[in-house]
Chain A
Amino acid sequence: MRASARAAARSAVRMAALAAALLAVDAAAQPAGAEPAPEASAAPARAATHWRSSEAQPSPGSAPASATSATTSSRTDPLPPPPSVLRRLREIVARGGARPARLADDPTAFTTVLRAADYDGEAATTEELLARAPGVQLRRFGGPGSPTELSIRGSTASQVVVSFDGVRLDTAQSGQADPSTVPLSLLERIEVARGGGSAQAGSNAIGGVVDFVPLAAGGPGRTRASALRGAFGTWQGAVTRQGTLAGIDYALGWDGFSSDGDFRFERLPRRSGFGLVRPVPPSAERINNASERHATLLTLGRGFGEHLRLTVRDHVFYESRGAPGLDDGSNRDAGQRARAHERNLRHLGLVRLDAAELGGTPLGARLEVAHLFERRRFHDPDPVLRLGRSVDVDDRNRALTLRGALDADHDLGPLHQRVSTTLEHRRDALDSPDFDDPRRETLAWLIQDDLSLLDGRVRLAPALRWERTEGFGGRWIPRVGLLVEPLPGLRLRANLERAYRAPSFDELYFPDQGFLRGNPGLRPEESTDGDVGVELAWERLGPLSALRLEAVWFRRDIDESIVWVLASPSLVEPANTGPASARGWELSGSLRCFEWIELAANHTRLDAELDATGTPLPGRAARETSVRLAIGPPSRAARLVVERQRVSEIPVTPTGNTILPDRTVWDLALWVDLARVAGLRGRLPAETLRLGFEVANLTDELVRDAQFFPQPGRSWLVRLEGTW
């Protein structure tokens, strides 16, 4: 008792001293008598005030903005207040045109919005943000620049649709996309919609949908640049520019990253019936782990008259990296591959035409064509032990999507209705010397409704999709959601939906190599999802502001799950397996205290198991908790951020009998805006100039998301970022 009281007192003193230090920095940053800068007063408010106020005045012909969860920032849009028609167009553009297939726009969906601006000054990455969202688990296969996999509510990576401005990044070959390949510097926000989303997004959206929303084009000219230097020879730089020139809105950006990746790692001992066997060597250095990445973004937008807007977007990603592979050997390098290498190139091109109030009617339309090209090359000149030969892969994937959408809203007495319909055609093709050039065409038609009663206090959002995937016939995919707001600040949501996933080309057509082969007889995965939750929000409660709490219960029943299984003594192939279920809780909350302290936390509890045996689905942790504490003045002159993430043990085999240990990871970040420091203010040619220092994995915890893919321990970085 006495000891805990002393500990609490020490913490309080420490917090007070930190606050005093930050106060001192803030005071020094402000000239005497000056008003706080407008931007400072509109600091990120993770509050329900956003959705409450933005829905307060729906204009005729416009629908209320989507009611997203409280990580949405209320930062004002950079555009000047537009006339009513342009406002309508902007809403269309901002919300994805005439609302085509976007689960995140569904008012009843449980969505987390992660705004890049909320992490200004920090060296945050897309995968780090995603890992801290409720219901999301991330598997990393190394340090920065290494591949990652995403899981939502216990899904596999190929059961999550990952899109860039609504265009899918996952290819038909793998069925999944690596979220770490989209740098945060090129994004405005990330929207994570949890739950079955096949009605809006089509195949693969069993776990949910992650949409990367790129930087908006237009506005007053703004340039941002950053440079980072970190451990393991890591460098990163980014430059973005948004503005308007000759009537054309533009956003362009480049993000470059390189790292030697040569971190030392400890290898986990293994405890079995033989006792605790220590690996040899007990530690090693990650070899052949250098990586280099570049990503670019170009967005052009122009309005034609008051009713049309054309957007062209181009995004390129390139990476070249060593592939050290598993650390399952006993030589000095622990069995890592010394010369395996991969190079990947991705190009996404999009042309979109939005129209509002066609013919003077409340009818909106969108026409869109998008092309995705991805080339993956892998080469390992050293013979693989059991294969006896080297490996050479060169796969080229292409996807062409045509999409058209119409929507209209109108009032029927007390009922406000918005109906939208979308027609979509997609063609996927794989060119590879190892495959027989498979092709797949998908045709889909979606109709969505959004019925609003009692000034939006009750909303019913049914959706129905018909989709035909070549080789798998057509299917109807229904979804219905309900939102009820019985009291201001209290929202109840519930959803029920069906979802499915067509097998990928790898699963169907992987060439028969004797020990590994695809299975053309696979059936699609099918699931039924449901979730129900409550959201509480208060603008102010004493010293607390932007207070938000959310609790969601979810369940998914999935059948015909496709799993790579042992089929014979010498063969592994994918097969449809029996039913599995995932259920659990997502608890999240955030608040601000005295305008100086921001606290956000979430906890996810997941029970994912095979129904036949009750064994846990491998690769998913049963519990994950994230806490983020940010301390700093409202002027954002400085920030101290402490984050803690705890992940419970992870079973890695289908029996659940091989288990990776749990871990708790602490991260620390501290930055100061030099442009607000006395003596420098006014002298620096920058609106903001943030210098930051961060330590990741402060306690050097041994972290592994997979048995044989080590991750770095404690690491540091220094970052400088400026805007003007």
Chain B
Amino acid sequence: MRRAARLAAGLLACALAAAPVAVRAAIIVDSSDPRCMALPGPFPPGLDWIDPAAGVALVVNSENDAVAAPVDFTRTPPATTAPAAPPELRPTIAADACAGQRFPLLDGAHVVSPALALVTGSSCESVAFLDPATGALRHASVSTPASLAAGVFPYLPAPGAAASAPGRVALSTRMCVDAPPGTLDSKGAPIPYDCGRGVPSYYTSFTSGAAVAAGRLFVSTANLGAGAGTFDPQFLPGTVLVFELSEEPLAAAPHPVTPVIFTRAFNPTSVAAYTTPQGRELVLVGASGALGLVQDDPGTPYREAGGAALTEAAIDVIDAEQLRLIATIPLGLAGLAFERLAIDPSGRVALVGSAIARHVYAVDLRPLDALAPDAPWARLDGVDGPAAAIFDAGHPLVLPGLANGAPPATCPGYVVGVEWGASRTAYATDFCDGTITRIRVDSLAAPEVPLSRARFTVEGAIELVAPVGPQSLGKAQAPGALRVFADGDAERAAVIVGYPEGLACSVPVPEPASAALGAASLLALCSLAARRARERGHRNPKEDTR
């Protein structure tokens, strides 16, 4: 018996030793659309040009893997130009920006130069410094001026302390701000919080946008209070944080005198640098207004959903040199989308989409150039100051919906990205219908201010991906941000798509009348090709990563 047991044990040991070594595998994320490259996760949040002439943009991915990489959109499908797979960013950002207490949800990207990109993050409120060519983090020298009180920036170095080497890869944008006297929250109630200052105060949150102007870094924070993700959340007054920024060597520090500027409208979600024709450096802040969610009304036959504008949206204008709010362009209950304003190459018109409807809003920037450098803050509404809004909530530029698009009551529209092309054309993506709509302006040099609405023509929609809804199960949906570039005599759009896989796509933007048929045929052919490929089973997700 003992011999038999020893024999069995020995044989078992041999079997274990001879067992094949495990080959570690990988999750494969692929694209069945030949125009698109698959990204690691859904709903990629960031897209910005590194080199528009070369068609190379930085794409930021936040879900599953938080990474960023340069992508060449002149290729079909697009392909990354990074020399290696980008590194996961969250732990390093968290360590430097919030002492590892939380991890950032990456948001938008802003490419400052070929050597520097900024990526905002919320939860761990931060702006990260990246090398756009590789997607790797860069170290910056971060310090806090001695003029600021201790604890105002709880995750930055102590005021007056020398910056430590090798520096930090991210700048914390969590700041305790004192609410201006008499300010109320979005529900009209006094600010109920105190972040240890003994006065109504609160920590900034939901870092949303970054831009560089006049050698300074401006970072918007939406400051969502209680009830995030509910029908009627609380918003605290919006802020734009101001940092001194040096690109070479890379260094950042809060402005010693004006580290924060409060916006007039709630929920600032984007910032864009703008230089007037006279050379005044401004920062245009897109403030979406307080946004809630639409609740279904059981009394109607429709299934209502989507966003609801709770307070007025506006574009707040900051003088980047003087560091003060100089103007506000009210847009009504517009519910601005969260991409940065699209300013036409001539600098006349800024466009922005709506997060709650298939609308585009436009403002004429000429009145900003007319503001005196020392003029007090002005409300450019045509009453208290010159009018600047072209299309606002009361008079939106309505984009057409598809006849077979998303159910209008459930998904009434979400114009995520708007971008200018050449020849006075602009393009807007709609999350709900999966389209790119072309808008043409007949003149950007017309003398009337604001520019007449009649000069804008909606030329029709291109079906990029499927509309949101049960009829689109199994298909790519939800286009997001886009950029437009010249491709010979034509134009192409670099677009990111969100669901169910994130995609980076390069698509021509021809005339809409012929584009619909061509795109539909192409999609059908691509789907068939992809299905045949799957049936042949030539994909092999098993990787030996040893």
Binding site for B on A (CB under 8 A): 14, 17-18, 20-22, 24-25, 28, 266, 268-281, 328-331, 335, 385-388, 512-515, 517, 519, 521, 563, 565-571, 573, 575-578, 610, 612-616, 640, 649, 653-663, 666, 668, 670, 677-678, 695, 698-702, 707
A619 to B248, CA, bound (A): 50
Chain A positions within 8 Å of B478 at CB level: 566, 569
11 A–B contacts from the bound complex (CB under 8 Å): A24-B3, A269-B26, A270-B28, A272-B38, A277-B40, A335-B103, A513-B229, A565-B472, A565-B473, A653-B500, A660-B27
CB pair A273–B79 under 8 Å, yes or no, is: yes
A270 to B28, CA, bound (A): 6
- In the complex, are the beta carbons of A271 and B541 less than 8 A apart? yes
With A277-B85, A568-B410, A655-B476 in contact, do A271 and B26 touch (Cβ < 8 Å)? Answer: yes
B1-14: CB near A (< 8 Å → 1, else 0) gives 10111011001101
Q: Would you call B470 and A273 a contact (CB within 8 A)?
A: no
Cα A663 to Cα B29 with chains together (Å): 18
Q: Cβ of A666: which chain B residues have Cβ within 8 Å of it? A: 19
Instruction: Identify which of residues 321-337 in chain B touch chain A, using a CB-to-CB cut-off of 8 Å.
Output: none
Chain B residues whose CB sits within 8 angstroms of the CB of A573 once the complex forms = 303, 305
A512 to B66: give the CA distance in the assembly, Å. Answer: 30
Q: A657-B500, A659-B29 are in contact. List 17 more A-B contacts (CB 8 A).
A: A21-B7, A270-B26, A271-B27, A273-B71, A274-B65, A275-B85, A275-B86, A276-B543, A386-B228, A566-B468, A567-B411, A569-B411, A654-B475, A655-B474, A655-B476, A656-B534, A702-B22
The chain B residue sitting closest to A658, CB to CB, is B29
Contact between chains at A701 and B306 (CB < 8 Å): no
Give me the 9 closest cross-chain CB pairs, A-B, nearest first.
Answer: A275-B85, A661-B25, A273-B37, A575-B470, A24-B4, A330-B90, A514-B293, A388-B228, A613-B474
Cβ-based interface call for B183 (8 A) = no
Which residues in B have their C-beta under 8 angstroms from that of A700?
22
- Does B178 reach chain A (CB closer than 8 Å)? no
A271-B541, A276-B543, A659-B27 known; A571 and B85 CB under 8 Å?
no
B485 contacts chain A at the CB level, 8 A cutoff: no
In the complex, how many angstroms separate the beta carbon of B162 from the nearest chain A beta carbon?
A: 30
Give the residue of A330, A663, A701 whose beta carbon is less than 8 angstroms from that of B66: A330
Please, how many angstroms separate the alpha-carbon atoms of A695 and B105 in the complex?
A: 41
Q: Are A613 and B431 in contact (CB under 8 A)?
A: no
Residues A654 and B38 in contact, CB atoms below 8 Å apart:
no
Cross-chain contact A521 with B38 (CB below 8 angstroms): no
Q: Are the CB atoms of B11 and A17 closer together than 8 Å?
A: yes
Q: A329-B103, A566-B468, A567-B410 are in contact. Are A272 and B88 (CB under 8 A)?
A: no
List B residues at the A interface (Cβ < 8 Å).
1, 3-5, 7-8, 11-12, 14-16, 19-22, 24-32, 37-40, 61, 63-67, 69, 71, 77-80, 82, 84-88, 90-91, 94, 100, 103, 105, 123, 226-231, 293, 295-296, 303, 305-307, 355, 406-407, 410-411, 414, 431-432, 468-478, 499-501, 504, 527, 531, 534, 539, 541-543, 545
Query: Which of A328, A329, A385, A570 has the largest count of B CB atoms less than 10 A from its CB?
Result: A570
Q: Are A328 and B473 in contact (CB under 8 A)?
A: no
Whether B91 lies near A331 (C-beta < 8 A) is yes
Query: Which of chain A's residues has its CB closest to B468's CB?
Result: A566
CB pair A577–B26 under 8 Å, yes or no, is no
Contact B305 A655 (CB under 8 A): no
Residues of A within 8 A of B40 (CB): 270, 272, 274, 277
Are B20 and A699 within 8 A (Cβ)?
Answer: yes
Asked if B19 contacts A698 (CB within 8 A), the reply is: yes
Give the residues in chain B near A271, CB-CB below 8 Å. 26-29, 541, 543
Residue in A21, A280, A330 whose CB lies within 8 Å of B11: A21
Given known contacts A654-B474, A698-B19, A521 and B541 CB-to-CB distance under 8 angstroms? no
Contacts of A677 in B (CB 8 A): 1
A649's contact among B82, B85, B531, B541, by CB below 8 Å, is which? B541
Q: In the bound complex, what is the Cα–Cα distance between A218 and B16 (angstroms)? A: 44
How many A-B contacts at CB < 8 Å in the complex? 274
Minimum CB–CB distance from B37 to chain A (whole Å) comes to 3
B103:A330 contact, CB within 8 angstroms: yes
A659 nearest CB neighbor, chain B only: B28
Are B85 and A14 in touch, CB under 8 angstroms?
A: no
Alpha-carbon gap, A103 to B477, bound state (A): 41
B51: shortest Cβ distance to chain A, in Å?
Answer: 19
Chain A: minimal CB distance from B207 (Å): 15
Q: Given that A330-B91, A567-B410 are contacting pairs, would A661 and B296 also be in contact in the complex, using a CB cutoff of 8 Å?
A: no
Quote the shortest CB–CB distance from A7 to chain B (angstroms).
10
B332 to chain A, nearest CB (A): 21
Q: How far apart are the CA atoms of A145 and B61 in the complex, in Å? A: 35
Q: CA separation between A666 and B15, bound complex, in Å? A: 11
Contact flag A657-B410 (CB < 8 Å), given A269-B545, A567-B468: no
* A610, B473: Cβ atoms closer than 8 Å: yes
Which A residues are CB-close (under 8 A) to B77? 273
**Cβ-defined contact, B25 with A702, below 8 A:** yes
Q: How far is the CA of A519 from the CA of B94 in the complex (A)?
A: 39
Residues of A within 8 A of B69 (CB): 274
Chain A hits for B4, CB < 8 A: 20-22, 24-25, 28
Neighbouring A residues of B27 by C-beta, 8 Å: 268-271, 658-661, 707
Q: Is the CB of B11 within 8 A of A14?
A: yes
Q: List the A side residues contacting B105 at CB < 8 Å.
A: 385
Min Cβ gap A264→B in Å is 14
Identify which of B541, B542, B545 gathers the most chain A CB atoms within 10 Å of its CB.
B541
Q: Are B500 and A658 in contact (CB under 8 A)?
A: yes
Chain A minimum-CB-distance residue to B135: A274
Chain A residue nearest to B25 (CB atoms) is A661
Q: How far is the CB of B362 from chain A (nearest CB, A)?
A: 22
Whether the pair B1, A577 counts as a contact (CB closer than 8 A) is no
Determine which of A274, A515, A577 lies in contact with B470 in the assembled complex, contact meaning CB atoms within 8 Å.
A577
The reply to whether B32 and A278 form a contact with Cβ atoms under 8 Å apart is: no
Q: Is the CB of A21 within 8 A of B8?
A: yes
The smallest beta-carbon distance between B256 and chain A, in angstroms, is 34
Closest beta carbon of chain B to A456's beta carbon, Å: 42
* Contact A273 B295, beta carbon cutoff 8 Å: no
Whether B475 contacts A655 by the Cβ 8 Å rule is: yes
Q: Report the nearest B residue to A575, measured CB to CB.
A: B470
Pairwise interchain contact B25-A270, C-beta atoms closer than 8 A:
no
Looking across the interface, which residue of chain B has its beta carbon closest to that of A656?
B534
Q: In the complex, are the beta carbons of A569 and B474 less than 8 A apart? A: no
Taken together as a complex, chains A and B put the C-alpha atoms of A566 and B431 apart, in Å, by 11
A375 CB → nearest B CB, Å: 27
Nearest-neighbour CB distance to chain B for A657, whole angstroms, equals 5
- Kindly list chain A residues whose C-beta atoms are within 8 Å of the C-beta of B543: 269, 271, 276
Q: Which of A18, A272, A273, A568 contacts B468 (CB under 8 A)?
A: A568
Residue in chain A with minimal CB distance to B65: A277
| Cβ B3 vs Cβ A658 within 8 A | no
Complex contact A330–B227 (CB within 8 A):
no
List, in ascending order, chain A residues with CB within 8 A of B504's CB: 273
Contact B32 A331 (CB under 8 A): no
Asked if residues A275 and B293 are in contact (CB atoms below 8 Å), the reply is no
Closest to B77 in A: A273
Cα distance, A573 to B406, chains bound together (Å):
14
Using known A-B contacts A329-B103, A570-B306, determine if residue A701 contacts B229 with beta carbons closer than 8 Å: no
How many whole Å from A347's CB to the nearest CB in chain B? 35
Q: What's the Cα separation between A701 and B20 when bound, in Å?
A: 10
Judging by beta carbons under 8 Å apart, are A698 and B500 in contact? Answer: no
Q: Quick check: B39 and A273 within 8 Å, CB to CB?
A: yes
Q: Which residues of B contact A670 (CB under 8 A)?
A: 8, 12
Note all chain B residues with C-beta closer than 8 A to A277.
40, 65, 67, 85-86, 88
Q: Inside 8 A of A328's CB, which chain B residues have their CB?
A: 63-64
* Shortest CB distance A712–B (Å): 13
Cβ contact within 8 Å between B32 and A655: yes
**Cross-chain contact of B24 among A14, A266, A512, A707 (Cβ < 8 A):** A266
**Residue A568 contacts which of B38, B228, B305, B476 (CB distance < 8 angstroms)?**
B305
Docked complex Cα distance between A20 and B4 (Å)? 8
CB of A558, distance to nearest CB on chain B (Å)? 13
> Is A280 in contact with B91, judged by CB distance below 8 angstroms?
yes
Distance in angstroms from A262 CB to nearest chain B CB is 21
